[in-house]
Each structure stands twice: as C-alpha cells, then as structure tokens.
Amino acid sequence: MNPFYKNLSLWIVITLMFVMLYQIFSEQRLAETPVSYSEFLAMVADERVDEVVIQGQELTVKDTQGDRFKVYAPDDPDLIATLRSKGVHIGAKPPAESPWYMSVLVSWFPMLILIGVWIFFMRQMQSGGGKAMSFGKSRARLNSDQSAKVTFEDVAGIDEAKEELGEIVDFLRDPKKFTRLGGRIPKGVLLMGPPGTGKTLLARAIAGEAGVPFFTISGSDFVEMFVGVGASRVRDLFVQGKKNAPCIIFIDEIDAVGRHRGAGLGGGHDEREQTLNQLLVEMDGFESNEGVILISATNRPDVLDPALLRPGRFDRQVVVSLPDIKGREKILRVHMKKTPIAPDVDPVTLAKGTPGFSGADLENLVNEAALLAAKQDKERVGMMDFEEAKDKVYMGLERKSKVISEEDKKTTAYHEAGHALVARFLPFTDAVNKVTIIPRGRAAGVTWFLPEERDFKYKDQLQSELSVAYGGRVAEELIFNRISTGAAGDIKMATDLASRMVRSWGMSDLGPLSYAKDEEHIFIGREIAQHRDFSEETARRIDEEISKFIDNAYDKAQSVLKENIDILHHLSEVLLEKETVMGSELDAIILEMRPGFDFPSKHEPVPTPAPDKSEKADESPEAVSASEAEDATEDSAAEPSSEDERDDKSDDKG
C-alpha cells in the first residue's frame, strides 16, 4: 500500500474515534444532578425554582441558588400553568437527536470493518515478501539505485576475474555486438573462491557497470518448512527477471540449494532437491531467458550438483582466489582512500607482511588500524598502528593483565629463540620478521615469518620447515632437560606436513604414489564406506616414512642449536629484557657473535648437469619457454597452496 494512503487512513480512523468520544462524554455532565418529579413540584410550590428548560420529557432546572439538575417529567398538562403561576422562566428545545454522522457511523461501521478486512487479505495474497499467503513469492530484492552503485574501480586484486566478467557487461550494454555472428552470451556465471575474496562485491560491480536491474537473493531464502515453496520461489524469481530484462539475478551461497543430489543417508526426493530441479529447468528449459543472466557465488564448489555446472547453465566458472602481493597492495590502497594515512605507511610492506589475507581481511586490517589510531587521539593512521592491528587480527589482543611466572617466561623465550635460530641457520626457510614473548590470544609467544609466496614448494624447503617447527621443542629439551606442552601446535603442524609429503606429494622412498585419505563427505552424494587402496604392510611403511621425516628434522634442529647454543642463550636474554626482537636485530645478534657469517640463501639453485653441446642445438622452443616459465614462477608471488602454509606464518607457544 502507498504510504500516503496508509497515513490518510490512519488519520481518518483517529478523527472518528475522537468524534465518538466527544459525543459520549458531552452527554454526561457531572454538574447536573437528577431530581425526582415530586421534589421538583415541591420546589416550584416553595418558589425555589428560577428557570426551567423543557426538552421533550426532560427538564433542565435552575434553582434560585444557581444549581442545575435534571428532571424527567411525565405527560402533565398542568405543568406549564403551574410554572407560570409561580413566575418561573420557561424555555423550550426540540427533543435531542443523534448527529447524522453518528447515525451513519453506527449503521455502516460493521459493514466498513468487513470490507476493510476483505481488502487487507486480498492485498496480502497478491503481494510478495514475507506477508500472509505469499509463501511462494520470491524474496529477491531489486537494487536499482544508481546513487551508491559499485563499479570495477572499487574492486581490486582480482584482475583476471574482472576481465572475464567484462564480457558480461559489454553484452548487456551492446548485445548485437556478440549476437551478429551467432554467438550466445553465457546464461550463468559461477564465482568460486574462499570467503572474503570479493565475490558478492564483484557481482554488484557488474550490475553497476552495466546499469541494469540487479536482483539479489540468498540460497537459503528458497527452502522453508512448506513443501513446494522453494520451487515456487524459483519460478517467481525468473518471472520477475523476464519482466525486467535485461537484468542480472545474483544468488549468493548457491550451495544451500545446489548440493549434490542423492545423498548417502538422506535419501528421497526432499524439498531441497525439488528446488534444485526447478532451478535446473529455469536455467535451461524450453523457455528462453534472453537477457536474464544468472550469477552465483559459492565457497564450496565441490558440493555442487554436476548438472548445475554443465554448459548451458553455468557456462563459466570464474575462480576468485586470494590476492597475491600485488593484489593485496591494490586492495590496501583502495581501502586507504577513505582513511587519513601518515607518510610513513608503506602499502607494499604491509602487503608483504599479510600473506593469505583476503580482501575482507585487509579491509578489517585497515579498520582496526583506524580504530587504534582514533583510540590514541591521532590525526592520521601510522605504520605502528597497522603493525599493532596486524598482530591483533592474527593473534588477538595483547594480554597485559596475564600474570606469567619467571619460569614460564624463560621457557617461552628459549622456545621462540629456538624457532628463530633454526630458521636463520637453515637454507630454504622464510625470513624472520619478528620474535616476541608478549602473550596474545592463546599464545604465550610468537615467531613471525614472512613467507615467500610461490606456486610450488620443494622437498628441501619442506624439510627445513619441519626443522623450524621443532626448533622450540628442541631448545626446551637442550636447556631445561625437560619438555612442556607448549609445542603442541608445532607437533601437530609438523606431523600433518610430513604426512602430506608421504601420502600426497610422493616425496618419500615409497615413490611417486598417492596414499591420500578419502575426505569426501557422505552427505553430499558420496559413498558412505571409505575404501583404502593399500595394504597393511604399505600402511606400516607409510608410518615409517613419516617418522623418518620427523626424526631427521628433529636431529637437524638439534644439531643447529647445539652448535649455536651461545647465540641461543644470548637471544633468550635479549627477549627476556626487550620482549620483542625484530628480524634485523636478530641478524645483528648473529653477526655480532659470528662475525663474517654467511646466511644461507633462500634461493639456492638445485645443481643440474650441464647440457651437452650436441643437445643444446636440438633444444626445442617448448623447452626454452618451459624453463623461462619456471624462472618466472620462482620470482612470482602467489597465495599459499594450502591452509597449513598460511598457518606457518606464526608459531604459537601454548
């Protein structure tokens, strides 16, 4: 209903209520006291009555003292003569009648109520949203406001995805450019990527660039407790899209309705499957949805039904990955436009120190830095604010109130010093950014690394990472001749890494074979039973190879710390005194105690036999390009290939 008519109806009802109340209370005047007719005649006889107003059979009497009262008089023909004989002033009024509007209101009020109720329910049945009798209507919201539209300039760090989706924008602007040669624009685009990488923002940017209606709905809005509601809402959604064509329909988190059919334990043709079937028909049925482009986003593409991903439905699958170092720099610059930044802030340095951060993480980083600066009444956000915000985002708030015993503090110092020294004395390790024993979150101390972002990791790199993980545990054992529970996180990470080296990456003596566990979930249409494709003897050998990697890494860390135990003691003392040691300070301590020490290179080339001159002439262009591509890969920065690699940035103690 129009807001104007809604307000008008409200004021009409309020006015009628006031009229009724006035009419009711105006007839009941408390100052007028009723008197019996015999008492009234006695007062007339005693000449105590000054004035009488006759209104039908009701008399309004005023006595000589000025008091007023009412008297109900019967049909007395001698009343007028009696009053005249006593010299009473006589007035007359016609009998009281109800106002015309009250008569109309009383007679028509029930009918008006019935008509109003009927109109209300009819409008509710015809309208959408969450109103009565509208279960099957789509809950998609139409965003056509161009005042706060998002464009591609607001999206950074995902240039490949922007380029891929630029064709969608060009088609919506000029369809004939593509259709003149018989081409067909993709019906659907599936955006895949981790949470926070900008999938929803990218879809809004497409609508903003194209200048067309943009319908947005969540996948969970389709399915409710009523049977057939989801399928009905899918039909209504596409009907709305056809009416507003050309347009874009964006379904966020489509995995809520697009999961693999035929789950192992659920069974049956449930409501969710009905919704999915209707979506499949609408996307590629007999009817043409010309000008309606469906864009969906999900961070679980592995659970989607194969029928949903075939050409003709989702023709394109765009991967929106975590940004690399250049992408993170661009994202930081976009978010820094809204914040006054101090001259010492370097987005490049911040981008290097935030590997694995998504666009949402970087936005949160800038926001936390701004809040910290505002808390200290600063005019601009400085680099120290960003460093503090980064530590807070990674590990949590600094626990200043925590009481730590001297023994635990000393153990933590040696633990973190062990990590840092092993990382600096072994090749192929990440650069140490900072070592601190200030407790944050659940960690008693942290060793920060600056991991180099590469597409691949090699066996010698992973072996060095294993040794770094055990550096803290080995330091505790060497110094205190006892071990603590502080290395639980290190042990878990190292065990998982060694298991992957053997099971998934074929880096053991078992050869290039995969023994990875089947981690598929049974509720997305997979088999309930888990099959193991190797024997018990092979399982025993796998365990032996994992133990061999762990033992070698442990011995390597032990050897490094025994040879440099004096540096270990000195670094621990500095940590106990300053609580935080930066990477440059760590290198200075090592060079002070080991003058002329040559730090192992992070990029030591793997020795390869020199090519024979006869073979060099026959070297194919493919081989040359492959070599150049490998060199480019070595120098490029990419996101970590697994979740565990991101966790390697910090080592928790406790």
- The residue whose two tokens read 């309020």 is 14
Most distant pair of Cα atoms in the chain: their distance: 154
441 in Cβ contact with 397 (< 8 Å):
yes
**CA atoms in the 13 A half-sphere facing the CB of 37:** 9
Instruction: Name 81's Cβ contacts closer than 8 Å, sequence gap at least 6.
Output: none
CA nearest to 592, candidates 604, 579, 581:
581
Phi-psi map region of 94: left, alpha, beta (phi>0 left; psi -120 to 50 alpha): beta
Continuous H helices in 154-257:
159-173, 176-179, 199-210, 229-243
Joined together, the tokens standing for residue 155 give 């999206």
Query: Which whole-number Å values give the CA distances from 509 to 500, 534, 538, in the listed order?
Result: 14, 16, 12
322 in Cβ contact with 197 (< 8 Å):
yes
Joined together, the tokens standing for residue 56 give 């039908």
* Total H helices, total E strands in the chain: 24, 15
Q: How far apart are CA 241 and CA 505, in angstroms?
A: 48
642 in Cβ contact with 516 (< 8 Å):
no
Q: How far apart are CA 650 and CA 490, in angstroms?
A: 10
Q: What is the DSSP string of 549-582?
A: HHHHHHHHHHHHHHHTHHHHHHHHHHHHHHSEEE
341 in Cβ contact with 385 (< 8 Å):
no
Instruction: Name 440's Cβ contacts closer than 8 Å, sequence gap at least 6.
Output: 391, 392, 395, 396, 397, 398, 399, 446
Q: Strands (DSSP E) along 150-306, which ranges?
A: 188-192, 214-218, 247-252, 292-298
- The full length of the chain comes to 654
Main-chain phi, psi angles of 190, to 5 degrees:
-105, 120
169 in Cβ contact with 258 (< 8 Å):
no
- Residues annotated as part of the active site: 416
417 in Cβ contact with 568 (< 8 Å):
yes
Q: How far apart are CA 516 and CA 519, in angstroms?
A: 9
Q: How far apart are CA 165 and CA 588, in angstroms?
A: 50
